[in-house]
Amino acid sequence: MLTISIAMDEKKGIGYKGRLPWHLKEELQLFKSNTMGKNILMGQTTYDGLPRKLKGRHTIVCSIDPEYKVNDPDAEVTYDLKKFLDEHEFSDDEVIVCGGASIYRQAYPFCSKALISFVKGEYETDTRFDIFDLNDWNIDKEVEYEDFIYRELSRKRNDKAIFVTGCCGYIGSHTVVELLNDNYDVVGLDNFSNSKPEVLNKITELTGKKVKFYEGNMLDRELLEKIFDENNIGAVIDFAAYKAVGDSVKKPVEYYTNNVSSVLTLLAVMKEKNVKSIVFSSSATVYGSENPVPFKEDMPIGGTTNPYGTSKVFVEQILKDLCFADNTFNACVLRYFNPIGAHESGLIGENPNGVPANLLPFIDKVAMGKLEKLNIFGDDYPTPDGTGVRDYIHVVDLAKVHIKGLEKIAHKNGSYYVYNIGTGVGYSVLDIVKAYEKVNDIKIPYVIAPRRPGDIATCYADSSKANRELNWHTTKDLEDMCRDCYRFVVNCSKEQ
């Protein structure tokens, strides 16, 4: 059940200078549709501010002012909300409470799952019932008011920390920045197997906040227990894994140990410490090579051709089994397509050591003159220009969806969700090279090389489920991705 609340005081209530969003037609419409079939308890000022009554609803207007009169014969009025609620045995999800702080205070013990649904679409997420009091704030302008709502909603809902494994890695670090900016406290773990400690300083530089950091391995059960004992953790985002496809073929035991056994250790500790929510980094690679594009979440998974991919299939199955066995456990599996790009500040990004296996880091090295030319693996695929087609997604868009994933499973009691995380658009290797050259005004020399074993011709997502259910949409395009990649590597080279 969706539960959002908002601050208003009696003087600056909903009717005050038309400053609240539901004065706008579409918000009112949204409110109406989201409150369908519910009883509505409404504060006096709220009621006055609404463009007249909500037809067909049982609206109960609550006022603390005994002189207050409602000019609406259909509206029921109560001057003692507590008494009223005592007399009516509403169940939690029958009632919508909306209005000022005073009505919340009175309604709170009775309607802990009340639905308050009036703010814009982006707030339409699962969140806890909270009380905000505008009197604590000195807010004058409309825009500040909306900022206030957003800030407070974020601040209030995030009182438990998020434990991020692999917090210094490419996707982990970008996600931590988004979490901190959204007022989550972050507890992080990394063993720097594919990241650098400096990332922690960059994160602080970007956000003005610190991660409570632990160095170590997720296989270290004692360390995990200590982390859970020392922190008030509400949920986990698990990034810690090896990810080089080619390497995984050579080192299956290391890959399965690091990517699967470590998750089992983590889940055992989560169970022991009663932390029941996890967002897991999975990959489009789980779709194997047999499914037709675009990939959809309900397609069969498996048929992977390397231990890296298979390790993701295994963990998805483990999480599914766990959620089935324990109906209080919540998992949100995110199947990433091809994350590229970097934070637009140029402070964090992907800069692997040695010869990169992935396309963009390779192009970056060519751009920086560290590698002579790009090898394009095959130009005879059944694609428009013969080169491989992938669904590239900006890492910041990707980072943001983790917060949506957390929100999706917050306060749930047993749930398992899987989402494709891509843009739904496929670009070829040549498209990428051209975009990179254009946006950065630089030449990327390339040659056509033989196909790379294990590659498929085309891979892109149907991400409509994530768009719809998580209210998440990508905002960055291919040019942003290529520009941000280059900015980051140029920055890195200045620092060296």
243: contact with ligand UFG by CB under 6 A: yes
The CB density around residue 38, as the number of other CB atoms within 10 Å, is 18
The single residue of 308, 416, 436, 460 carrying the catalytic annotation is 308
Residues 414-433 that bind ligand UFG (CB under 6 A): 429
Using the minimum distance from each CB to ligand UFG, give the nearer residue, 109 or 292.
Answer: 292
Check if 308 is active-site.
Answer: yes
Minimum gap (Å) between residue 449 Cβ and ligand UFG: 7
d(CA 155, CA 391): 34
Minimum gap (Å) between residue 436 Cβ and ligand UFG: 12
d(CA 77, CA 71): 11
Site string for ligand UFG, 385-404 (x = CB under 6 A): ---x-x--------------
Cβ(339)–Cβ(285) under 8 Å? no
Cβ(322)–Cβ(280) under 8 Å? no
Using the minimum distance from each CB to ligand UFG, give the nearer residue, 38 or 243.
Answer: 243
Residues 269-298 that bind ligand UFG (CB under 6 A): 283-285
Tokens in use for 245?
């496809």
320: contact with ligand UFG by CB under 6 A: no
427-428 vs 389-390, strand pairing mode: antiparallel
377: contact with ligand UFG by CB under 6 A: yes
Using the minimum distance from each CB to ligand UFG, give the nearer residue, 162 or 432.
Answer: 432
Tell me the number of residues near ligand UFG by CB under 6 A.
21
459: contact with ligand UFG by CB under 6 A: yes
Using the minimum distance from each CB to ligand UFG, give the nearer residue, 158 or 285.
Answer: 285
Measured from each CB, the residue nearest to ligand UFG is: 388
Residue type, 238: D
Q: Which one of residues 455, 471, 477, 490 is an interface residue with ligand UFG (CB under 6 A)?
A: 455
Q: Which one of residues 132, 280, 362, 427 is an interface residue with ligand UFG (CB under 6 A)?
A: 362
Cα-Cα-Cα-Cα dihedral sign, residues 489, 492, 494, 496: negative
Residues 331-350 that bind ligand UFG (CB under 6 A): 337-338
Q: Tell me if the bond preceding 294 is cis, omega within 30° of 0.
A: yes
Cβ(421)–Cβ(334) under 8 Å? yes
474: contact with ligand UFG by CB under 6 A: no
266-272 CB contacts, 8 Å cutoff, 24+ apart: 266/165, 266/218, 266/224, 266/236, 266/238, 267/318, 267/319, 267/322, 268/221, 269/221, 269/224, 269/225, 269/228, 270/228, 270/236, 271/326, 272/225, 272/228
d(CA 189, CA 282): 18
> Which parts of this chain interact with ligand UFG (CB under 6 A)?
243, 245, 283-285, 337-338, 357-359, 362, 374-377, 388, 390, 429, 452, 455, 459
Active site residues: 308
